[in-house]
């Protein structure tokens, strides 16, 4: 009997996505490094959060994993099978196993179609099931996400934002995915609706054995639902670890700044003395060395010369030359 450890469900190795910056006569005058040298893995059944400011590369990462963007460098493996690399075409079977839930689920639904037709469409594309089998499967999935069967004859504009999110979930669940990528799934929802949707995510994870990649700027939501968290800045991972460790003892100055800026009701802050100043640099002209150094209150001369690799201790990684001094 082999004692080899099981492969992670998803492996990302040195993934990059660069966009050309064009000027006069459509000539390329630069390169926007939206995603640069990103590596991590996701275990089966895990919920991995990805946080950071707008423009840090969170959504670009999700869309590159999904195949919406082609990688400029690196590769992605799903259960050991390479599914993305420069120039590689994404197979239809892989697209069914890896599903993306957009920030605005209503925008992904055709306004001219009833919900029933929208939910049948993925099955028509990816299976050869007869209509009766498709209908039975759609009704079972709709019941799982907490929508009445009568809603299947409605159009997207006739249901609420929270219900649209449920339809969006049903639409990707009909294909039986292994990994679901959520892009800001609770943005724009009332607090009470948000809590209901998060509870639904937990229930579906258990019922269908799902693995989640959870992209969000809402630190409170990430803290409540994610097992581990990745902190991104300017296309790079600056910190990664268990959610409990990252929130209780953040190591990177950027992570501390994010947590300091987050609203908190009652109790002391973990990062009272860190504040985030200014705007992120232009990703087409990134600073030398550490990318955060132009906004870091603790930056020193060597931060401009050395691009720090992630250093791990106890499963908690940080890309910072001074993190040991921070922890002291």
70-103: pLDDT as tens digits: 999 999 999 999 999 998 888 878 888 999 988 7
Where in the chain is CATH 3.40.50.300?
A: 43-68+91-226
**Cβ pair 166, 147 in contact under 8 A:** yes
The two three-digit tokens of residue 158, written as one number: 């006739």
The two three-digit tokens of residue 27, written as one number: 């000539």
Where b means 16+ CB within 10 Å and e means fewer, 152-187 reads: bebebeebeebbbbbbbbbbbbbbebbbbbbbbbbe
Strands of the sheet with 236-242, listed across from one edge: 98-101, 179-183, 211-215, 47-51, 228-233, 236-242, 316-318, 311-313
The fold for domain 43-68+91-226 equals Rossmann fold (3.40.50)
Supply the pLDDT for residue 214.
95
Residue 117 pairs in a beta bridge with none
Report the percentage of the chain scoring pLDDT > 70: 93
**Cβ pair 173, 105 in contact under 8 A:** no
Helices (H) and strands (E) in the chain, counts: 10, 12
Question: Using 50, 70 and 90 to split pLDDT, how confident is the model at 317?
Answer: very high
Question: Using 50, 70 and 90 to split pLDDT, how confident is the model at 2?
Answer: very low
Assess whether pLDDT exceeds 90 at residue 35: yes
Count the neighbouring beta carbons within 10 Å of the beta carbon of residue 233: 25
Find tokens 């099981």 and name the residue.
Answer: 6
**Cβ pair 278, 295 in contact under 8 A:** yes
Q: Is the pTM of this model over 0.75?
A: yes
Supply the pLDDT for residue 75.
96
Assess whether pLDDT exceeds 80 at residue 4: no
The two three-digit tokens of residue 232, written as one number: 């991104």
Find tokens 């450890």 and name the residue.
Answer: 5
Assess whether pLDDT exceeds 50 at residue 195: yes
The answer for residues whose C-beta is within 8 angstroms of residue 89's C-beta and 6 or more apart is none
Supply the pLDDT for residue 1.
41
């Amino acid at each position: 009997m082999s004692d080899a450890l099981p492969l992670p469900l998803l492996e990302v190795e040195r993934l990059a996505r660069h966009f050309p910056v064009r000027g006069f006569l459509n000539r390329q005058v630069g390169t926007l490094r939206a995603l640069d040298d990103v590596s991590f893995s996701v275990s089966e059944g895990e919920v991995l959060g990805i946080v950071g400011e707008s423009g840090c590369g969170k959504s670009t990462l999700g869309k590159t994993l999904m195949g919406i963007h082609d990688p400029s460098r690196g590769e992605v493996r799903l259960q050991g099978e390479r599914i993305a690399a420069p120039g590689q075409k994404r197979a239809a079977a892989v697209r069914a196993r890896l599903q993306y839930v957009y920030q605005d689920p209503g925008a992904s639904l055709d306004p001219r179609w009833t919900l029933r037709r929208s939910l049948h469409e993925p099955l028509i594309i990816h299976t050869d099931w007869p209509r009766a089998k498709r209908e039975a499967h759609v009704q079972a999935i709709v019941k799982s996400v907490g929508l009445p069967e009568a809603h299947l004859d409605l159009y997207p504009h006739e249901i609420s934002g929270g219900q649209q999110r449920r339809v969006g979930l049903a639409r990707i669940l009909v294909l039986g995915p292994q990994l679901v990528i959520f892009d800001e799934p609770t943005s724009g929802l009332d607090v009470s609706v948000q809590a209901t949707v998060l509870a639904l995510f937990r229930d579906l994870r258990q019922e269908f054995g799902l693995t989640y990649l959870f992209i969000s700027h809402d630190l409170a939501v990430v803290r409540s639902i994610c097992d581990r968290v990745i902190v991104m800045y300017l296309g790079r991972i600056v910190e990664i670890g268990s959610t409990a460790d990252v929130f209780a003892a953040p190591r990177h100055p950027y992570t501390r700044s994010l947590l300091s800026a987050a609203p908190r009701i009652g109790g002391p802050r973990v990062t009272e003395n860190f504040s985030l100043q200014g705007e992120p640099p232009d990703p087409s002209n990134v600073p030398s060395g550490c990318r955060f150094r132009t906004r870091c209150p603790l930056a020193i001369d060597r931060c401009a010369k050395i691009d720090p690799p992630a250093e791990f201790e106890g499963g908690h990684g940080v890309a910072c030359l001074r993190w040991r001094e921070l922890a002291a």
